[in-house]
Structure 1
Amino acid sequence: MARQDDTILRKRFDGVLDAAELARARAAGTELAYCPLQQGWVPLAADEEGDLAPPLSWHVGRLPLFKQVPGRPVHPRPESLTLRVWVEDDLPIYRALLCDPSLWTWMLEDRPARLDDDTCRALIALSTEGTHHKVRVATLGGRPVGQVRLEYGADPAAGELSYWLGAAARGRGLGRQMVRRFLDRLAVQQPGIRRITARVHPGNRASVRLLEACGFRACDRAELGLAPRGRDDGSWLGFLRRADQGAGTSSELSP
């Protein structure tokens, strides 16, 4: 049962519930609502019933606006990420992020030979098209800082997770926040996906800790069915997260 001081008494702008809090709240029968401003689930207080949107409602124009209390920020978590799709206006930042050599240290793919505007525009278009993957850009204060992607496989109930963060966003807990928020939204929008795998270079210890904090566990690659691909010659570590494995509680770390 959710503790009174842990979930039920949380105010709307104390931040959205993470996967573990969401599971406890549902088990306790706590009324929940989807907050379109923070893009996540929050407890529904009795005096907020007219202020919160139904799940996945983006008709913001139909919702009453919140008034800011003088001297207090509307959103007290300045480093809270939002997720959205890439758009063409992101092109300069997208190109700058991809042109950083450090970004490619642990990437599965090789760095493209060319990263001019045309190449980056094509990559943005590819991220929003097709049915073989779901890609979201993580933004901080409206500025893109990283990307998270789920690639669908032959099994409609499975997918492979990958992600990256720009250099300025690393080491601040934003990677874990990005992945957990993506997984939380995936659980609501695509509940049929029950099995998510990931692969990590053995030298990327920060990514190992991130995945473990998000509910993944190390698994034998043969069990996962991860064939060598890209820069993975078969030596990369394999991880698995099932839908019934909530996110972990380790300290927030990012690659």
Structure 2
Amino acid sequence: MPSAAPPFPAPLELRGEGLVLRDWTEDDLPAMPALFDHPDIAYWTPLASPFDEAAARARLERDRRLRAEGSVILLAITVDGRTPCGEVMLRRSDAGIELGYAVGPAHRGQGLAARAVRLMAAYAHQQLGADRVILELEPENAASVAVATRAGFRPLDVPLIEGEEKGRPYALQTWGRNLP
């Protein structure tokens, strides 16, 4: 992360694309396991698995700490401002602004992730001055590739990012979207 990054505003609420992206609250803790305790999310993301209420509480605490440090924002994806359907993440890094997302199984197929990514990318451009926003995803993750494409991202000609998470090797492809 770039040194001396200013903290992100709290609370934060973004509206657009038929969505309300808002801060997670303690009231959301019971809903989070239904969103994130799923084999797809366990496989493709670094989220804890199993994802129970203790994991939800730890995620909320981590979110608040990283936001105060100015490195990460985690927002609940909602259509009504209340019921969480998933999450969108914005992270400052030396490479720039990176976004990530996860949508609960019951809420898939509605375009929520692509809309949330576009809304968060607009925030990165308008409020943070980002010229480019990136996504890092595994090319084999067809659902994530579809989200990236629908959100206006394209693969960049950069080396794969290789590593291991949860005992599984991965190779992430970087996708980018230049903002107007």
> Shorter-chain-normalised TM-score: which range?
0.7 to 0.9
Shift of 1:106: 2.2
Q: Which amino acid in the other structure matches residue 118 of structure 1?
A: A
Cα distance per residue 1:130-170 (max 9 Å; x no partner): 22212211013321011111221125xx1222111000111
SS in 2 for 1:144: coil
1:230 is displaced (CA, Å) by 4.2
CA distance in structure 1 between the partners assigned to 2:138 and 2:176 by the alignment: 15
* Count of paired positions: 162
Structure 1 residue 233, shift from structure 2 partner: 4.1
Identity %: 29
**Structure of larger gyration radius:** 1
Alignment of 1:3-42 (within 5 A): 39-40=15-16
Pick one of 128, 135, 138 that aligns with 2:74: 135
Q: Which has the higher contact order (CA 8 A, sep 6+)?
A: 2
Query: 1:216 aligns to what?
Result: 153
Q: Which runs of 5+ in 1 are unaligned?
A: 1-36, 41-78, 245-255
| Equivalent AA in structure 2 for residue 195 of structure 1 | R
Which whole-Å deviations, capped at 9, do the CAs of 1:74-111 have from their partners, x for residues lacking one? xxxxx92210011111000012222222322322x164
Conserved 8 A contact 2:19-2:115: yes
For the aligned residue pairs, the C-alpha RMSD in angstroms reads 2.5
Q: Unaligned stretches of 5+ in structure 2?
A: 1-12
Cα distance, 1:234 vs. partner?
Answer: 5.5
1:237 and 2:177 are equivalent in the alignment: no
Counterparts of residues 10-89 of structure 1 (less than 5 Å)? 39-40=15-16, 80-89=18-27
Higher strand share: 2
Structure 1 distance, partners of 2:138, 2:84, is 24
Name 1:50's counterpart in structure 2.
none
